[in-house]
Structure 1
Amino acid sequence: MEFDIGKFEEYREDNRLEVKEAKGGLPKSLWETYSSMANGYGGLILIGVSEKKDGSFETAGLDAKDVEKLRRDLWSVLNDGKKVSVNLLAEEDVKDCKVGEDLVLSIRVPRAKREVRPVYINDDLFDGTFRRNGEGDYHCSRSEVKAMLRDQTEETSDMKALENVEIGDLNLDTVHAYRNRHSAYRTGHVWESLGDEEYLERIGAAKRAKADKRLHPTAAGLLMFGEEFRILDEYPEYFLDYRETLDPAIRWTDRLQSSSGDWTGNLFDFFFLVYSKLVKDLKRPFKLEGVTRVDDTPVHKALREALANCLVNTDFFVARGIVVKKGSDAIVMENPGCIRTGREQMLKGGISDPRNKALMKMFNMIGIGERAGSGVPDIYAVWESQGWKEPVVEERYGPDRTILTLAFTPKQAEKTSGKNKRKKQAEETEANGGRGKSAKTLENRVKITAFLASEESAGTGEIARHIGLSPARVRVLLSELMDEGMVQATGNGRSRRYSVKQATGSDEASKRPA
């Protein structure tokens, strides 16, 4: 993110832009913002700028002497390991620009690589680590800091041998189902003749422990082939949930949970049970290769890729678990954990950095998943070829969560003409009781209530990121919705969350015709 002086009048504060007056020198809050941006998406800090009540910016009157001192102080603190855990800036990241008669110092903070996250201040790992949300900089919780520490290492946590778990604790039916799929995908593979224990060791599902030199399941082996109650011993937050809502009159038309007790609850069985539910309504063309029918399509492959990507990038120590939601016009896949390469790099492709490398290897061996880092771009390409709306990837913090939305609705071919747009707006205003709200406002209100209905509750920042509005605008719309009794709020300050207000018995009665 670079500072463009030509756009100064257009700038507003958001998750990637922060302004500081700095009339009395570098403000202490600068370092919290530095940590926040480094641990998030990166961003831009403008020194010598203040924010007016309407959200626009004005310069604070810095001159060349002020800027030179600020620059010296900045580099001095950045290179003090007691103040900042790591200096991410290069000379070209710090520039001064003239805006009118005043100078502004721009600081571009890059996103820190996972190997150096968390970036913290004041030599305090747990109390000095920050991130940004829609409300500004916030202290990371201990669980968020620990998640960043887990992501630092090249050997992912699913590779470790679990010395308190035995090979016999794995579900052999699942192991044999996996072996059958491997044999079908790689006919005549040299591992086909191996016994189960040696086979599990070769695929990364088992490893010899350093202490007793015996073969034990790895964390990946337990996740893939274990029983849910045993997985919970290692991962107390482990939870898999599939929700299908095809009829709006019914809350769930189908539901599958790892805790139900009527199936294993492991990742292998979840993948194939859920995948079959996701594709059951997709059209399958009739095609023969020799005498064998082939009914796979690019959409089927994309959904397999998306589901595998969701599983292998999950941080199983983080709360709320994996949730896959199927509606009549979209599929949403959510997994705990942020994107290790960052959202921009993931969409660009070319770098594969899964959170669970052993799990990815096991899926790859049965023909599922993409090791080259092109999986997500391929999904986007398939959706583009189908003429559907572009997939949406979101990252949320506190707790860390990645959300992929795959809509089956067509792209809007062209924008409504000005005349038709004004006509539609007038019709919507009339339908809205003459309150004069614009079509865009009504659309955003609907987006907010729909999002809250799907999430049960959300904060201002989450809503703002989801619908693409500023937090300030979202707060205005939420206030309107609360005044009208459509939305309710709980908590205060940054912990304040909103949800759709459930109608009471008296409310329902008042709506019935006399």
Structure 2
Amino acid sequence: MENENYLRTLKEGLRIELKESGKKIPDSLYDTYSSFSNTEGGTIYLGIKEGKLNTIVGISNPEEQKKALISTLHSKKTSYCSISDEDVQIIDVNGKKIIRFVVKEAPLGAKPVYIDGNLSKSYQRIGDGDFLMSEDEIASLLLRKKGTGFDVLPNYLDLDETNIDKESLGEFRKEVNEANSNNSFRDLNDHDFLYRIGALTKANGKEVLKNGAVLFFGQQSDISQICPNYFLDYQENFSGKTRWDNRIASDDYSFNANLFNFFRLVSSNLIQRLPKPFNAKDGVANMNGKDVKRSVIEGMVNAITNCDFSSLPGIVIKRTYDNVAFINSGDIPVGIKQAIEGGVTNPLNKNIMNYFRLLQVSDRAGSGIPSIFEMCRSYGFLKPILAVESNPKRTTLIIHFAQLNQKTPHYTEKMEILSYLNAHPEGASTEELSKQIGMKKSSTSTIVTELLLTNLVKTNGKKTKGKRYFISDNGE
């Protein structure tokens, strides 16, 4: 039997939807099905009225509605359906019947999932609501399905190789030669080199740069024209006394802020003051400093190669003693689960990924994120946080350098709290967390305070009433 107290206190959010139901399925359910399928999946409860304390109103004809729901979804009501009988369950709650409907995130090839045969009826989940996707968002998904992203398209300004920043290209070629001593590019002139690496293409009878080449090697003035929301920001804060001790950003115009120059400047800062190598103890492997550096650089490459540069926040990287957070516009093309498991890769910016591979700063296809998780596991660091937010759509990867091994007090409860907060970007109260870990509020409060002191979680700033906790992303 489903726990009534749990259902009465359940709140709508990114992955939870509560709906009343009369004698037939409400039409709005299909909007939610589309939004969950296009976002991160979720669970719909039919027969519950939302309130300060939800009311279990039940359904008078649950078997009939279950059959109708499955039948309608497998018809032409939606563009994609993979539900089975097990995904739609009738649950008895103290004599009242409700339906629990689990919706899985659709694979990239099926997105966007829309209803009534109308592509413009593609929904996405933002917070606790279902919202229609914009034309640009739909177009971006369709391009990604074809394996085509913004960076491989010809730039609309007809910029050619004369618009390349010669200094950036020269330094790039120098580093490629150092990383690949026997490469076949060494003796090529710049024009042929750009063709060989896929930076040039033909459009309307002209040789022009692809968008990715403009972003990577171009002049900042040109980049701003083809990509008005282009923004890069690195913030370093080791003192904890100011907003940042050091900042490298595209809006201060102190350097030509193409992606290659930003990467060179920031990567040299990122690898400073990392945890020092240590000898094994408590079942933790000997730490090789090169592994940590490689993972940090991989995190930056992942953010850049999956960033949707057409929208804000662009790229934001925040570095402290305790951790480094990589934030980029857009989501994870293959989904969070597949990104962590590895083996499959589909970066949004394929051309830019190829440039990084020539520099040999990125692991083989599909292994970058898994190698970061494995490094943290091997050295006893906290499990990295990988999350996608919907409004605005952005991805956050946080690599923690704090060690939280199984001998840490309340290790299990702390990991459960971090996992719960990671899955609930809307945050949680002490009461919600205490129910999650099965401990008293006072004990839960003590554990959360320890997580606050290690900068693993943050609050919304409220002192008591309305106070909620969130995964820390080094935000202000």
Deviates more, 1:384-393 or 1:134-143: 134-143
Q: Does 1:276 align with 2:274?
A: no
Q: How does 1:79-478 map to 2 (within 5 A)?
A: 79=74, 81=76, 83-96=77-90, 101-122=95-116, 124-126=118-120, 128-141=121-134, 143-162=136-155, 164-209=158-203, 211-212=204-205, 214-282=206-274, 297-411=290-404, 413-415=407-409, 438=442, 440-441=444-445
Change in Cα spacing, 1:148 to 1:324, as seen in structure 2 (3 Å) is same
The answer to whether the 8 Å contact 2:381/2:403 transfers is yes
Larger Rg: 1
- The CA deviation at 1:80 is 5.3
The share of aligned pairs that are identical, in percent, is: 28
Residue from 58, 61, 72 that aligns with 1:60? 58
Change in Cα spacing, 1:166 to 1:244, as seen in structure 2 (3 Å) is same
Change in Cα spacing, 1:160 to 1:480, as seen in structure 2 (3 Å) is closer
Q: Does 1:27 align with 2:20?
A: no
What residue identity is the alignment partner of 1:402? T
The answer to whether the 8 Å contact 1:321/1:335 transfers is yes
Give me the whole-angstrom Cα distance separating, in 2, the residues matched to 1:345 and 1:106: 25
The answer to whether the 8 Å contact 1:23/1:60 transfers is no
The answer to whether the 8 Å contact 1:143/1:318 transfers is no
Structure 1 portions without partners, runs of 5+: 286-294, 418-436, 452-465, 483-498, 501-514
- The CA deviation at 1:326 is 1.1
Give me the whole-angstrom Cα distance separating, in 1, the residues matched to 2:354 and 2:34: 34
- The CA deviation at 1:440 is 4.2
- The CA deviation at 1:410 is 1.9
**TM-score, normalized by length of structure 1?**
0.74
The answer to whether the 8 Å contact 1:37/1:110 transfers is yes
What residue identity is the alignment partner of 1:394? A
SS of 2:318 mapped into structure 1:
strand
SS of 1:242 mapped into structure 2:
strand
Q: Which residue of 1 aligns with 2:68?
A: 73
Give me the whole-angstrom Cα distance separating, in 2, the residues matched to 1:368 and 1:183: 13
What residue identity is the alignment partner of 2:191? E
- The CA deviation at 1:50 is 4.7
What do the CA deviations read for 1:33-70 (whole angstroms, capped 9, x no partner)?
Answer: 11121111112223344557435x746153xxx23432
The answer to whether the 8 Å contact 1:140/1:398 transfers is no
What residue identity is the alignment partner of 1:359? I
What do the CA deviations read for 1:109-150 (whole angstroms, capped 9, x no partner)?
Answer: 221122332223355544x33333443434445554444344
SS of 1:350 mapped into structure 2:
coil
The answer to whether the 8 Å contact 1:50/1:60 transfers is no
Give me the whole-angstrom Cα distance separating, in 2, the residues matched to 1:118 and 1:106: 24
Change in Cα spacing, 1:104 to 1:283, as seen in structure 2 (3 Å) is closer
What do the CA deviations read for 1:206-263 (whole angstroms, capped 9, x no partner)?
Answer: 1222x21x32211111111011111111111101111111222233211111233232
What residue identity is the alignment partner of 2:301? A
What residue identity is the alignment partner of 2:361? I
Change in Cα spacing, 1:416 to 1:392, as seen in structure 2 (3 Å) is closer
**TM-score, normalized by length of structure 2?**
0.79
Change in Cα spacing, 1:73 to 1:282, as seen in structure 2 (3 Å) is closer
What residue identity is the alignment partner of 1:30? L
Change in Cα spacing, 1:15 to 1:95, as seen in structure 2 (3 Å) is same
Give me the whole-angstrom Cα distance separating, in 1, the residues matched to 2:275 and 2:289: 10
What residue identity is the alignment partner of 1:266? N
* Segments ≥4 residues shifted beyond 6 Å: 445-451, 474-478
Give me the whole-angstrom Cα distance separating, in 2, the residues matched to 1:53 and 1:362: 53
Give me the whole-angstrom Cα distance separating, in 1, the residues matched to 2:199 and 2:210: 5
- The CA deviation at 1:397 is 1.0
Please report the RMSD computed on the Cα atoms of aligned residues, expressed in angstroms.
Answer: 3.4
- The CA deviation at 1:266 is 0.9
Give me the whole-angstrom Cα distance separating, in 2, the residues matched to 1:467 and 1:77: 43
Give me the whole-angstrom Cα distance separating, in 1, the residues matched to 2:448 and 2:100: 33
Deviates more, 1:101-110 or 1:366-375: 101-110
- The CA deviation at 1:25 is 1.0
What residue identity is the alignment partner of 1:20? K
SS of 1:377 mapped into structure 2:
helix
SS of 1:406 mapped into structure 2:
strand
What residue identity is the alignment partner of 1:317? S
Q: Which residue of 1 aligns with 2:38?
A: 39
Change in Cα spacing, 1:415 to 1:58, as seen in structure 2 (3 Å) is farther
Deviates more, 1:343-352 or 1:89-98: 89-98
Change in Cα spacing, 1:384 to 1:183, as seen in structure 2 (3 Å) is same
SS of 1:151 mapped into structure 2:
helix
Structure 2 portions without partners, runs of 5+: 278-287, 412-440, 469-474
Give me the whole-angstrom Cα distance separating, in 1, the residues matched to 2:461 and 2:128: 11
Change in Cα spacing, 1:481 to 1:58, as seen in structure 2 (3 Å) is closer
SS of 2:344 mapped into structure 1:
coil
The answer to whether the 8 Å contact 2:327/2:394 transfers is yes
